[in-house]
């Protein structure tokens, strides 16, 4: 793991550089991304409509107690609603983590982790989340859903995500790179070519999800971009970027690191990926690995 992310000095430099680039109005966002400040915790569950809509139902969860990908959240929500409308699915949008209770989670067929970051859940809400997945529920996470150091919840980073974010390149932050698709049979990736060019903020992980039991759908070609930040090397060698697994051979979990920029969600390939991932996560298509 790169040592520079453990350095308070480098963390301060990162904050100062980010402020210079984006303006002081983002200071609170950056501070929260570094794990500073008290998280905002929800204790009163939302009142769901008497008629939620037809199943299958998607819980679009975009709460952030860490860095907030504001534009990406809006774009992903719009993409999700478009996909649901086209397929006769139902979407419920919320940033209230108190919906993570047994009764309300049972109303949904998959949770969409829409760039949710930070320590969002109470212990009781964490237990309900875990039970939902382990009892056969689905989770589809994108980009920021792995973009915070989840040291406060081992189950989330080790069992659910199977990947711990450690950083992304800076200067330039966004780069075009080549993605290699290893599995073109999965519902989420069957429409992709063998190689695909895409611009994004490329996440690196402190562990290799492949080695921790995930089935890798796509990997990042590190020779096609500069994987460096603040003097540190973020190369992984084998660099999974999209993967899935079945938790305890039952709960369906999918994660894609794509999607920092809002325009990513307008790309037809991304929409097709989300549609296929959600269909798989809800058990409508495909099998567990």
168-198 pLDDT, tens digit per residue, is 999 999 999 999 999 999 999 999 999 999 9
Which residue do the tokens 């698709």 mark?
181
pLDDT surpasses 90 at 36: no
- d(CA 70, CA 28) in angstroms, rounded, equals 13
pLDDT for the residue numbered 34: 56
pLDDT for the residue numbered 85: 97
Which residue do the tokens 């984006």 mark?
22
Q: Which two tokens stand for residue 140?
A: 């589809």
Q: Where are the domains of the chain?
A: 3-38+53-281
Please list the alpha-helical segments (H only) found in the chain.
8-22, 27-33, 70-87, 102-105, 123-134, 154, 268-281
- Residue 266 near residue 234 (C-beta atoms within 8 A): no
Most confident of 22-26, 31-35, 281-285: 281-285
Q: What is the pLDDT of residues 247-288, one digit of tens each?
A: 988 899 999 999 999 999 999 999 999 999 999 999 999 988
Per-residue pLDDT averaged across 88-94, rounded? 98
3-state SS, residue 165: strand
**H or E element, residue 120:** none
The fraction of the chain above a pLDDT of 90, given in percent, is: 80
pLDDT tier, 227 (very low <50, low <70, confident <90, very high otherwise): very high
Q: Which range has the worst mean pLDDT, 12-21, 23-32, 94-103, 221-230?
A: 12-21
pLDDT for the residue numbered 3: 40
Q: Which two tokens stand for residue 141?
A: 């996470």
- Beta-carbon contacts of 139 under 8 Å, excluding residues fewer than 6 positions away, are 110, 111, 113, 133, 160, 251, 252, 253, 254, 281
What backbone phi and psi angles, to 5 degrees, belong to 187?
A: -55, -30
Tell the CATH topology of 3-38+53-281: Rossmann fold (3.40.50)
pLDDT for the residue numbered 152: 83
Q: Which range has the worst mean pLDDT, 87-101, 105-119, 149-163, 212-226?
A: 149-163
């Amino acid at each position: 793991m790169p040592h520079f992310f453990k350095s308070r000095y480098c963390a301060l430099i990162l904050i100062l550089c980010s402020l210079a680039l984006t303006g002081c109005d983002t200071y609170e966002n950056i501070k929260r991304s570094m794990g500073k400040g008290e998280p905002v915790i929800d204790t009163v569950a939302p009142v769901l409509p008497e008629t939620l809509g037809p199943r299958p139902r998607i819980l679009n969860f975009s709460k952030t107690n860490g860095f907030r990908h504001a534009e990406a959240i809006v774009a992903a929500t719009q993409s999700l609603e478009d996909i649901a409308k086209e397929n006769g699915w139902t979407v419920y949008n919320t940033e209230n983590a108190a919906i993570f209770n047994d009764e309300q989670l049972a109303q949904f067929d998959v949770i969409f982790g829409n760039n949710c970051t930070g320590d969002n859940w109470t212990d009781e809400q964490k237990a309900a989340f875990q039970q939902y997945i382990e009892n056969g529920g689905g989770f589809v996470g994108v980009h920021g859903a792995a973009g915070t150091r989840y040291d406060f919840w081992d189950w989330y980073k080790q069992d659910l995500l199977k990947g711990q974010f450690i950083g992304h390149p800076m200067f330039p932050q966004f780069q075009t790179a080549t993605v290699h698709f290893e599995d073109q049979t999965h519902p989420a990736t069957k429409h992709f070519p063998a190689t695909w060019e895409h611009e994004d903020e490329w996440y690196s992980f402190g562990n290799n999800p492949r080695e921790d039991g995930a089935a890798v759908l796509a990997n990042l070609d590190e020779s096609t971009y500069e994987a460096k930040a603040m003097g540190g090397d973020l190369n992984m060698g084998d660099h999974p970027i999209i993967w899935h697994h079945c938790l305890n051979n039952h709960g369906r979990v999918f994660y894609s690191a794509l999607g920092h920029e809002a325009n990513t969600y307008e790309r037809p390939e991304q929409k097709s990926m989300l549609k296929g991932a959600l269909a798989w996560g809800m058990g409508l298509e495909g099998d567990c690995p």
